[in-house]
């Protein structure tokens, strides 16, 4: 397969090179807009919707930060389509979540040119801002991370990224590859006719092949998988009962930030903030009477288990739940371990394919016989 284009760049020029390509795409009318990580005027990098190519210089697609999971952003732009074509630059966890949102009809990729980046991890938002202020750039991060070192001034990429088996984005039109390409070149890979057309329009012809890529990707995936297995085993060994889960969640204050940050918590209105869970005073008193005490706010474990039963089939392991927790509860392993089990049960993998039906939306007459163990 030689569907790559080599894009050599000098130190400090990566973003400029990419901006030029997107500028070309917008000027040729391949797309009318670009949604990509962009340096913000004050500080930080956020997904930004650009419709005027003049501003493209500030894009920074490889910035090691994801303040929100981009799937939700794409959902808000495309759920009710604008009719305008948009190129979107996201990392794997965002794309996998986006695929699940498409299946739920909460996003639409018809007018989207989907571009995935090779992701070496993201820092927590405040850590990233600190590193940015210290003069770190995306390029310096890439060089270090490819050499296997993501730690920087006492900060490291998030726990979710360290155990993520998907550094490379699938189900995309174009892929911006940096793994196994050498540090002075980026390869653009086209995976669909839509991607081919976009590249042709800006005068880029595929035909190169990055020599080391496949092996380098496989090696990274293997390393991450091993880390993931070890992390899950450690979590399960320490948290195999509700009692242990209560211990893990002891600092939870029912703020529900984890569900706000979660890209696949799909309910428009969470039942835990509806009248179903607004009780009368005498109800609370009654519950307190049963055992003499009632922890307030109530229903903490109930909330987390219910959330699991809703989103675990779609969990992509992005770790935004952990990042969003104001009390530093490491939620990612809680939801990811449950997700591993529920997804395995249905031989499902969140974000793997547009064609796989979400497990609770389909059913057969003669399946899962082991659940009841009864045969007529």
Give the residues lining the site for other proteins (CB under 8 A).
236, 239-245, 271, 291-292, 301-302, 305-306, 308-309, 312-313, 337-338, 341-342, 344-346, 359-360, 363-368, 371-372, 374, 376
> Which residues, including other chains, have CB under 8 Å from residue 81's CB and lie 6 or more apart?
108, 110, 111
Closest to 91 in 3D by CA, of 157, 12, 135: 157
Running DSSP on this structure, what letter comes out for residue 358? P
The DSSP bridge partners found for residue 59 are: 38
Q: Tell me whether residue 322 or residue 337 sits nearer to other proteins (CB atom).
A: 337
CB of 95 to other proteins, least distance (A): 24
CB of 161 to other proteins, least distance (A): 23
Q: Tell me whether residue 226 or residue 247 sits nearer to other proteins (CB atom).
A: 247
3 state SS for 166-196: CCCCCCCCEEEECCCCCCCEEEEEECCHHHH
Q: Tell me whether residue 216 or residue 311 sits nearer to other proteins (CB atom).
A: 311
Q: From residue 66, how far is each of 233, 297, 314, 323, 369 by CA, in Å?
A: 27, 31, 19, 10, 43
Q: Tell me whether residue 1 or residue 369 sits nearer to other proteins (CB atom).
A: 369
Q: Tell me whether residue 123 or residue 348 sits nearer to other proteins (CB atom).
A: 348
CB of 361 to other proteins, least distance (A): 9
Dihedrals φ, ψ of 22, to 5°?
-65, -35
Q: In a 3-state reduction of DSSP, which class is residue 5?
A: strand
CB of 202 to other proteins, least distance (A): 46
Q: How far apart are CA 314 and CA 115, in angstroms?
A: 21
Q: Tell me whether residue 11 or residue 345 sits nearer to other proteins (CB atom).
A: 345
CB of 291 to other proteins, least distance (A): 6
The DSSP bridge partners found for residue 190 are: 174
Q: Tell me whether residue 320 or residue 342 sits nearer to other proteins (CB atom).
A: 342
CB of 347 to other proteins, least distance (A): 12
How many Cα atoms within 13 Å fall on the side-chain side of residue 122? Answer: 30
Closest to 339 in 3D by CA, of 272, 249, 263: 263
CB of 287 to other proteins, least distance (A): 9
Q: Is the peptide bond before 174 cis (omega within 30 degrees of 0)?
A: no
Q: Tell me whether residue 17 or residue 240 sits nearer to other proteins (CB atom).
A: 240
207: left (phi over 0), alpha (psi -120 to 50) or beta: left
CB of 94 to other proteins, least distance (A): 25
Q: Tell me whether residue 233 or residue 271 sits nearer to other proteins (CB atom).
A: 271
Question: Dihedral of the CA atoms 111, 116, 121, 123 (nearest 10)?
Answer: -30
In this structure, are residues 101 and 266 in contact, taking their beta carbons and an 8 Å threshold?
yes
CB of 321 to other proteins, least distance (A): 16
Q: How far apart are CA 180 and CA 193, in angstroms?
A: 24
């Amino acid at each position: 397969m030689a569907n790559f284009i080599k894009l050599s760049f000098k130190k400090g020029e990566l973003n400029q090179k990419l901006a030029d390509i997107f500028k070309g795409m917008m000027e040729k009318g391949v797309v009318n807009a670009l949604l990509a990580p962009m340096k913000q005027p004050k500080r930080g990098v956020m997904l930004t919707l650009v419709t005027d190519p003049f501003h493209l210089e500030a894009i920074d697609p490889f910035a090691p930060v994801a303040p929100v999971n981009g799937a939700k952003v794409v959902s808000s732009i495309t759920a009710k389509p604008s009719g305008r074509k948009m190129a979107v630059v996201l990392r794997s966890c965002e794309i996998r979540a986006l695929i699940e949102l498409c299946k739920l009809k909460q996003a639409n990729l018809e007018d989207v040119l989907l571009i995935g980046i090779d992701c070496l991890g993201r820092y927590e938002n405040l850590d990233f801002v600190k590193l940015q202020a210290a003069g770190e750039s995306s390029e310096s991060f890439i060089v270090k991370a490819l050499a296997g070192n993501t730690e920087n001034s006492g900060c490291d990429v998030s726990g979710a990224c360290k155990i993520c088996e998907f550094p490379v984005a699938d189900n995309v039109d174009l892929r911006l590859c940096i793994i196994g390409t050498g540090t002075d070149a980026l390869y653009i890979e086209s995976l669909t006719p839509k991607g081919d057309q976009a590249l042709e329009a800006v005068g880029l012809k595929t035909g190169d092949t990055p020599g080391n890529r496949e092996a380098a990707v496989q090696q990274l995936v293997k390393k991450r998988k091993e880390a993931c297995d070890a992390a899950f085993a450690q979590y399960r060994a320490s948290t195999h009962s509700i009692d242990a889960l209560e211990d893990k969640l002891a600092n939870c204050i029912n703020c529900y930030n984890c569900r706000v940050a979660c890209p696949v918590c799909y309910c428009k209105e969470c039942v835990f903030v509806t009248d179903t869970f607004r009780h009368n005073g005498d109800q609370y008193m009654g519950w307190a009477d049963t055992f003499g005490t009632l922890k307030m706010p109530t229903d903490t474990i109930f909330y987390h288990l219910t959330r699991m039963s809703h989103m675990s089939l779609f969990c992509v392991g992005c770790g935004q739940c952990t990042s969003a927790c104001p009390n530093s509860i490491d939620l990612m392993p809680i939801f990811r371990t449950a997700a591993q089990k529920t997804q395995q049960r249905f031989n499902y993998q969140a974000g793997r394919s547009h064609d796989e039906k979400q497990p609770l939306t389909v059913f057969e007459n003669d399946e899962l016989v082991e659940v009841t163990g009864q045969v007529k």
